[in-house]
Structure 1
Amino acid sequence: MTTPTITQSELENYLWGAATLLRGYIDAGDYKQFIFPLLFFKRLCDVYDEEAEHAKADHGAVFREDHWLELEIPDGSHWDDVRQQATNVGMAIQSAMRTIESTNQELFGIFGDAPWTNKQRLSDATLRDLIEHFSTQELSLSRVSEDMLGQAYEYLIKKFADDSGHTAAEFYTNRTVVQLMTRLLEPQTGESVYDPTCGSGGMLLATAMELREQGKEFRNLRLYGQEINLITSAMARMNLFMHGFEDFEIIRGNTLSNPYFIRDDELRQFDIILANPPYSIKQWDRDAWVNDSFGRNFLGVPPQGRADYAFLQHILKSLKPMSGRAAILFPHGVLFREEERDMRTRLVEDFDLVECVIGLGPNLFYNSPMEACIMICRRNKDSKRQNHILFINALDLVTRRQAQSFLEPEHIEEIVQAYRQFEDIENFAKVVKVDEILKNRGSLSIQLYVRSSLSDNEDERPLDAVIEDWQTSSKNLRQSMSELFKKLEYKPETDQSSKNGVAPKNMIEEIRDTNSEKVEE
């Protein structure tokens, strides 16, 4: 008798029900390291059994090539074997997962490193409850399609992000922002897509989903990602597998200190790069960057306290010369911070790599009120766009509902159309010559070039953005005053010099002292 199919809602409730069994035993931020491996384990075994039944019906025997990925589940390592375990359940789970990984090279390391054997965290009884809960549904392909399971997986990622607080940004980026970034880059069939800080793989998947929505072939995209966190990189691999992808490569590692994708001793280059790098990390090897063997310091060496321009330079060096384009989600500070001014100036003046800067509203960084921006970079800009940058002020285009901020479909469409038109739109978009940007000391601050009704109201801006603006303006003021002092340097005999249009010495000292006090405040 055929098992009835499950609805999307039933599937999502079933998965979230497993997570609720862990409430009170572990922190919400740790749910993912237990639930995702169990889900993937159950899926593998159910599909494996289904394929074996079909093979027996077709030709009376089962061979390894009858299975997806030519998967092999050794005796004693099946879900049903673990389900029979009454004691030391964690050890049974861990042993089964490690055996499957070692038997199937493509799955090596995919189950992560959850502490299954730590009974102080999860007792045998709790693990048995989890196993029994997952056993209430069959996750075969005939019951749960790849699309359904992929959507449910994404649902679970979002739920875990909502529950896990500040750690969510490590593996989750606002999906409406990802959709916008993907549409801006217009992925094409067969292209290579790379995310140097790929989290749970959502940006890579978004390129494929964009092509599918257009009715184009999407499974021949070549997807590549690197992620420093072990469980998060495992989540990305499971995510892609459960969406039905096989032609991808997700590697765990530190992109800045040990980039994995190398060809002929140089960084491998890609058609599309989507990224949401970690914001202004302080713990990175700046000294090694001074002599980076891959030339990722062509703009300069970023300050120790902010690695944003290290990630940016890595991305730019990883773009193909003719087709390479990137969309990077950054905090607004990268657009105007004084300590990065020289690098930013070289970026726009010497290399002309920035095509568009899009300012988004607050709360689109997960669990952070900070305003976000998208920087679009392109190696081979259209001749009409060369030496110009389009600024789009989309601060107003944010919907906030039930403590969540997101972009509506019409918001995304409005921004995409403005980018494609590359023309001035009053109070929304402005095409600016690089020469004008250089006159503003290389600042890419969007409000210098185009304002919106929201930006006129300073009370609407997050505090951290206001502080950062103030710090930058203070530094600019100090530098301007220093230049003024040099011009006014002289040795006056009397205060009579003030009558000749020259500031007397005591006035200069008073201005200098006052300015110094303001900056220190």
Structure 2
Amino acid sequence: MTQQTQQLQAQLWNIANTLRGKMDADDFRDYILGFIFYKYLSKKMELYANEILEPDQLKFRDLEGHPQEAEYIEAVRDAALDKLGYFLLPSELFSELARRGNSGGKHQFILGDLTRVLTHIEQSTMGSESEEDFGNLFEDLDLTSSKLGKSENDKNELIVKVLSHLEEIDFDIANSESDMLGDAYEYLIGQFASGAGKKAGEFYTPQQVSNVLAQLVTLGKDKLKSVYDPTCGSGSLLLRVAKQVKQVGGFYGQEMNPTTYNLCRMNMIMHDVHYKKFDIKNENTLEKPQHVDMRFEAIVANPPFSAKWSASPLFMSDDRFAVYGKLAPGSKADFAFVQHMVHQLADNGTMACVLPHGVLFRGAAEGHIRKYLIEDRNYLDAVIGLPANIFYGTSIPTCILVLKKNRSEAKNILFIDASQHFEKVKTQNVLRDGDITKVIDVYKAYSSGAFDDAEVDKYSYVAPLAEVAENDYNLNIPRYVDTFEEEEPVDLQQVSQDLKQLEKEIRKTDNTIQQFCDELGIDTPF
């Protein structure tokens, strides 16, 4: 990470902290991230418009009042909708609103104008290919909310301050080689997540966990045809996969929470993922899957742990679940997500998902599904135990399951116990770079067939499928990785001598107390 990126992150976080006042962090998150996104769209619009107007020696801001204003605006609009997916007028640019709010040496009322601009950004895409990708993106920026202030002037005052502070920061958007703003944006999402308690798991996976999942599914590849996350949250996992390869053909995801769905689309665009290259849907993945007929080369996920779902008997005729003969219980949808992902995994693909430890050993329907995946399909490639307390909002220990469909020759499963390899940072446990590298190096060795290198004492073990079957398909990691540490032998002779010495010291102390009591003419306490 460059010093410039770190500086930008610090500036944005400082604005978020100093301006939100008494507003709840979750609420202010939506405003600050929304306004950063608005500035990004404005700057991209202006840069692109200036580029296509350059042959005419014009700037985008010069078009208003130009004799051929209507013709130029129409031409820029058509080009922008195809290239960028949206359109803004020169008067609707972020910098114009910020300037208007501070004109005349005092804050001017701009809430009405700002509301119209944000609405127009969404409306500009109607009837175009990008309509679904930009629709309702700003619905969480309620500029009439009392959370912004008691009076309209109070609300306006806060908004103008936010716009003014953001206007002073250089986002370096013109630099096509830099993803500085995208990284800073994701940093802010992570910072808000760290203080969001139980809600955080709904929209953010810690970067170190995302890093592990991304490396697992991209091992040996520098290009991916597609990557999919059925519970994509803010999109951090999808974007992390993109950092591991040179090219990703398409990003696909589904998110049930509307606010988080908007955040994901913003995050994609802020990382310069073209609107034609991502397809994010807002629906319940298990109940209403939106990409069910597609197959993906890489799948990553951090589903909500042990979530409830309908488990309706009707799903027994659903292709995702029918072949198993059992549904995951309604009280724990963990394996329902696994079944869904396996269904969507391409034959040459790899999936890696984070799940609670219970999936490794719970019985009944879950035990049946687990056995089917291993015995009948031979899809399970690796089980990786993670430390407790590394996810926001829950302290439970978790694991990563890695599954592949092209394991026909493989007759074993890799087990890694990384649960004791972490650093405690404040109240959270964190995987260090070395902890991540160790996991990936062992998995690489295993994938290449170098089992001797893949087996590390007290850390990892390559279990034959026959051994897993002997354990009745119970995947509890201590059954396979022996982490028992022998205690040093106790020297009983030394213990005896220590006790004798202690007894002498006790007698000496008792005698001293006896002398003091005699001098004072009182009874001894013993």
TM-score class normalised by the smaller sequence: 0.7 to 0.9
Deviation string, structure 1 residues 33-60 (Cα, Å, up to 9, x no partner): 1111111101111232233334333333
Matches of 1:80 and 1:119, distance apart in 2: 25
Pick aligned residue for 2:284 from 254, 263, 267: 254
**Counterpart of 2:372?**
346
Distance change in 2, residues 1:418/1:311 (3 Å): same
Matches of 2:200 and 2:482, distance apart in 1: 31
Q: TM-score, normalised by structure 1?
A: 0.78
Q: Which moved more, 1:270-279 or 1:398-407?
A: 398-407
* CA deviation after TM superposition for structure 1 residue 352, in Å: 1.3
Note if 1:364 corresponds to 2:379: no
SS at match of 1:320: strand
| Aligned AA (1:191) | K
Q: Which moved more, 1:272-281 or 1:221-230?
A: 221-230
Note if 1:41 corresponds to 2:38: yes
Pair member with larger Rg: 2
The 5 A counterparts of 1:81-96 are 82-83=97-98, 84=100, 89-96=110-117
**Counterpart of 2:472?**
441
Deviation string, structure 1 residues 290-345 (Cα, Å, up to 9, x no partner): 33533334332111110111111000000112x02100111111101124212212
Matches of 1:242 and 1:351, distance apart in 2: 40
SS at match of 1:390: strand
SS at match of 1:373: strand
* CA deviation after TM superposition for structure 1 residue 75, in Å: 6.5
* CA deviation after TM superposition for structure 1 residue 30, in Å: 2.1
* CA deviation after TM superposition for structure 1 residue 76, in Å: 5.5
Task: Indicate if the aligned counterparts of 2:389 and 2:397 stay in contact, CA closer than 8 A.
Answer: yes
**Counterpart of 1:393?**
417
Matches of 2:240 and 2:378, distance apart in 1: 27
Matches of 1:140 and 1:342, distance apart in 2: 54
Distance change in 2, residues 1:120/1:111 (3 Å): closer
Note if 1:73 corresponds to 2:104: no
* CA deviation after TM superposition for structure 1 residue 288, in Å: 5.4
**Counterpart of 2:267?**
239
Task: Indicate if the aligned counterparts of 2:350 and 2:403 stay in contact, CA closer than 8 A.
Answer: yes
Matches of 1:10 and 1:50, distance apart in 2: 23
SS at match of 2:195: helix
Pick aligned residue for 1:291 from 316, 319, 328: 316
Note if 1:12 corresponds to 2:12: no
SS at match of 2:187: helix
* CA deviation after TM superposition for structure 1 residue 444, in Å: 0.7
**Counterpart of 2:340?**
314
Note if 1:58 corresponds to 2:90: no
SS at match of 1:73: coil
**Counterpart of 2:137?**
110
| Aligned AA (2:260) | T
Task: Indicate if the aligned counterparts of 1:395 and 1:454 stay in contact, CA closer than 8 A.
Answer: no
* CA deviation after TM superposition for structure 1 residue 225, in Å: 0.9
Matches of 2:273 and 2:377, distance apart in 1: 36
Percent identity, please.
30
Q: Which moved more, 1:57-66 or 1:24-33?
A: 57-66
Matches of 1:355 and 1:398, distance apart in 2: 24
Pick aligned residue for 2:307 from 271, 281, 293: 281
Pick aligned residue for 1:334 from 356, 359, 363: 359
Note if 1:193 corresponds to 2:219: no
| Aligned AA (1:331) | P
Q: Which of structure 1's runs of 4+ aligned residues deviate more than 4 A?
A: 65-68, 85-91, 143-146, 453-456
* CA deviation after TM superposition for structure 1 residue 140, in Å: 5.4
Matches of 2:262 and 2:442, distance apart in 1: 37
Matches of 2:359 and 2:203, distance apart in 1: 22
Matches of 2:299 and 2:314, distance apart in 1: 21
Deviation string, structure 1 residues 336-377 (Cα, Å, up to 9, x no partner): 112421221222111111111011111122232211110000
Deviation string, structure 1 residues 51-81 (Cα, Å, up to 9, x no partner): 3334333333564266451541146543255
Pick aligned residue for 2:258 from 230, 234, 256: 230
SS at match of 2:115: helix
* CA deviation after TM superposition for structure 1 residue 6, in Å: 9.7
| Aligned AA (1:32) | R
In structure 1, stretches of 5+ residues that fail to align are 212-216, 457-521
SS at match of 1:298: helix
RMSD after superposition: 2.6
Deviation string, structure 1 residues 11-31 (Cα, Å, up to 9, x no partner): 223311331244343211222
Distance change in 2, residues 1:249/1:146 (3 Å): farther
Matches of 2:122 and 2:3, distance apart in 1: 29
Matches of 1:455 and 1:400, distance apart in 2: 25
SS at match of 1:38: helix
Distance change in 2, residues 1:261/1:96 (3 Å): same
Matches of 1:453 and 1:34, distance apart in 2: 50
Q: Which moved more, 1:271-280 or 1:177-186?
A: 177-186
Q: TM-score, normalised by structure 2?
A: 0.77
Matches of 2:256 and 2:384, distance apart in 1: 28
Task: Indicate if the aligned counterparts of 2:224 and 2:297 stay in contact, CA closer than 8 A.
Answer: no
Distance change in 2, residues 1:32/1:343 (3 Å): same
Note if 1:429 corresponds to 2:460: yes
Matches of 2:331 and 2:484, distance apart in 1: 33
